[in-house]
Chains A and B, each alone.
Chain A
Amino acid sequence: MTARPLRHRRAGVGSAAGWPTSAVVFAVAALSMFPFGFLLIRSLAVHRDMGVGGLWLVIFDRMPVLLYALNSSIVSIGATVIVLLASSMAGFAFSKLGFRFSGLVYTLIIAAISVPLAATILPNYLNIAKLGGIGTWWGPILMYAALATPFSVVLMTSFFRALPDELTESAVVDGASYWQIYTLIMLRMAGPALVTVGVLCFLGTWNDLLIGLLLLPDPAMRTISVGVATLQGVRANAMDNDIILTGSLISAIPPVVAFILFQRHIVTGITSGITK
């Protein structure tokens, strides 16, 4: 994995830029801020007898914001924990241990990345319904975790492959169990890769609509994405529109914060498929 590729941007391909370059880039950056500016300005719009910021109070009457955010946290954190465990263990297995047909199994896991959810969602929905998983937390958590697993396994495997084999081998000679090697050596060194896997899984789960819509039909268990999408159903006037935008903005706060904190890890994660 290339560590922090963005650090090298100053050593890029161009010469020092003149002001036209800076002006164009400024304009593009300003346009990119449009959704944020639009959401913020409209959420501060004044309606009826409310002052500025009134919509930030009204939204709590229209939608149980904190409950929905809690529900989103339950599925996002649950799925992220499972993916971190499953993918780091599998990455250790594929990179350092191996087993019969492990090469073939690894190839199949890579292939699973390109299977669209739309192709498997119908059997998944009915399988989970048959097992009684609709309206439970484990149904969506397992589903989200499983969907993030193939990409995360590939990322962890290539991270561990870059570590020297002697680490594992000398620990075996010293009498360490494989579980000890995994927890005491592998996990301790895997920090950056674990952050990448964790952030991508958290963002993907928090921002998803389809699975929440299908597997959590009980309004009390709605995720905030489903809650915001459902608000749109009761759209009527200009104030309702601005309430929907306020809800959207609130739902975006956790992913935006995670994004700002872990920007570099996200870029590394996305490009890890090609820099190796």
Chain B
Amino acid sequence: MATHPQIRRPGRSDLARARRRAGLLFALPAIALVLAITVIPLAQAIYYSFTDWNGATARWVGLRNYVNMLRDPELKQAMINSCLILLSIPLGMIPAFVTAYLLSRGPLLSGLMRTLIFAPTALSWIVIGIVARQTFANEGPLNGLLSAIGLDVLAMNWLARPSTALIALLFTFNAAVFGVNTVIFLTALSTVDRSTIEAARIDGASETRILVSIILPAVRRFVEFVFIITMVASATGIFGLIYVMTAGGPGSATMTLEFAVWRRALSTGAFGPGAAIGISLMLLVLLVIAIVRRLARVEADA
């Protein structure tokens, strides 16, 4: 080597090199975990989604798994249901925003009220699902309430009919994320510049006008954020809820793409087609995120 280490003083570049080496070493455990459990399995899943992989052997079948998904009535139902849950999210966000707005106006015991509204967030999807299953059951409290107020005609076995089972699932999902979304909106409202609101109020603007013209535009980023995290939760995090509440039934009435990976692949060994379902779900999530981001930008520019 041409360099003479014995006459070199440790300079800036040596320090920088030592720092970079330390940086790589410190980041290594996290990088290894993400590589092993997310990056490599994702690459495998993409590859296997084009094969008839059964856990042992995998033969290349091209796009067949994806084409079959479109022909399979149960998976078609799962796709429709995944989209329906997604479309129900904005409806669920409205009461959360209204509640956050009311909370921000400083009602009695607002700190305690916020805690009570947030508390169900601690419950797992399994516990929520078990409560929901019994609430909607034939002899459950919902039918009890309906007969108590004289609406016996509406009392029914909610989870036994395809349409009402799906409605019950959509309702339960949105009710379960209501608390956390309310608290995020409350945080959003606390970031709104108070002096602008005071000035508008002095100028005689109504509370509705202030809400629509000042507060909503100021918290738009939070609205986008709440929609995206709720959407991701609905698409990828409610396996436990469906497992205990409806198991995807009756028939395939409450199947989602996420649940289909379990029912169609993990319990039968059809891993190739299952990988295609999982990858389709990921593409759906990424597509929706891209659309929301685009819409938000267009609106911001307008």
Would you call B192 an interface residue if the criterion is a C-beta within 8 Å of the partner chain's C-beta atoms? Answer: yes
Residues of B within 8 A of A124 (CB): 37, 41
Partner of B282, one of A21, A115, A126, A255: A115
Check A125/B266 contact, CB under 8 A, given A10-B106, A29-B113, A245-B130.
yes
Contact partner of A259 (CB less than 8 A), chosen from B45, B122, B243, is: B122
Count CB-based A-B contacts (< 8 Å). 325
Q: In the complex the two chains form, what is the Cα distance from A108 to B225 in whole Å?
A: 20
| Residue A164 lies at the interface, judged by CB distance under 8 Å to chain B | no
Whole-angstrom CA separation of A14 from B201 in the bound complex = 10
Q: Is the CB of B192 within 8 A of A209?
A: no
Q: Do B187 and A248 have beta carbons less than 8 Å apart?
A: no
B205 close to A (CB within 8 Å) = no
Question: Does B235 touch A at the CB level, under 8 Å?
Answer: yes
**At the interface, yes or no: B274 with Cβ under 8 Å from chain A?**
yes
Q: Specify which chain B residues have a CB less than 8 angstroms from the CB of A93 in the assembled complex.
A: 22-27
- Can you name the residue of chain B whose Cβ is closest to the Cβ of A25? B107
Asked, given contacts A114-B289, A251-B127, whether A119 binds B186 with beta carbons under 8 Å apart, the answer is no
Whether B244 and A229, one on each chain, are in contact in the complex, defined by CB atoms closer than 8 angstroms, is: yes
A193 at interface, CB cutoff 8 A: no
What residues on A are CB-neighbors of B45 within 8 Å?
119-120, 122-123
CB distance from B246 to the nearest CB of A (A): 12
User: Do the beta carbons of A126 and B55 come within 8 Å of each other?
Assistant: yes
Q: Please judge, given known A-B contacts A9-B110, A116-B282, A209-B243, whether A90 and B101 are in contact too, CB under 8 Å.
A: no
Q: Is A98 part of the binding interface, using a Cβ–Cβ cutoff of 8 Å?
A: yes
Per DSSP, chain B at the interface is: helix
Name the distance in Å between A2's Cβ and chain B's nearest Cβ. Answer: 8
Q: Does the CB pair B266–A122 fall under 8 Å?
A: yes
Residues of chain A lying within 8 A (CB to CB) of residue B102? 17, 21, 24-25
Q: Are B122 and A9 in contact (CB under 8 A)?
A: no
Q: Does B179 contact A (CB under 8 A)?
A: yes
Q: Contact: A228 with B130, CB < 8 Å?
A: yes
User: Contact between B117 and A122 (Cβ–Cβ < 8 Å)?
Assistant: no
Contact A32 B116, CB 8 Å, known A115-B42, A146-B36? yes
User: B240's contact among A16, A122, A209, A241, by CB below 8 Å, is which?
Assistant: A209
A35-B123, A142-B37 provided; 13 other pairs, C-beta below 8 A? A12-B106, A13-B194, A29-B117, A93-B27, A105-B27, A119-B45, A119-B281, A120-B278, A126-B271, A178-B22, A210-B240, A245-B134, A259-B119
The residues of B with any CB-CB pair to A shorter than 8 Å are 15, 18-27, 29-31, 33-34, 36-42, 44-45, 48, 55, 95, 99, 101-108, 110-128, 130-131, 133-135, 139, 141, 178-180, 183-184, 186-187, 189-192, 194, 197, 201, 207, 210, 215, 221-222, 225, 229, 232, 235-236, 239-240, 243-244, 257-258, 261-262, 265-266, 271, 274-275, 277-279, 281-282, 285-286, 289
Q: Pick 16 A–B contacts, CB within 8 A, sort by A.
A: A13-B189, A13-B210, A22-B108, A35-B127, A39-B127, A89-B27, A105-B27, A116-B278, A118-B257, A121-B41, A121-B266, A146-B36, A149-B30, A172-B15, A182-B26, A228-B126
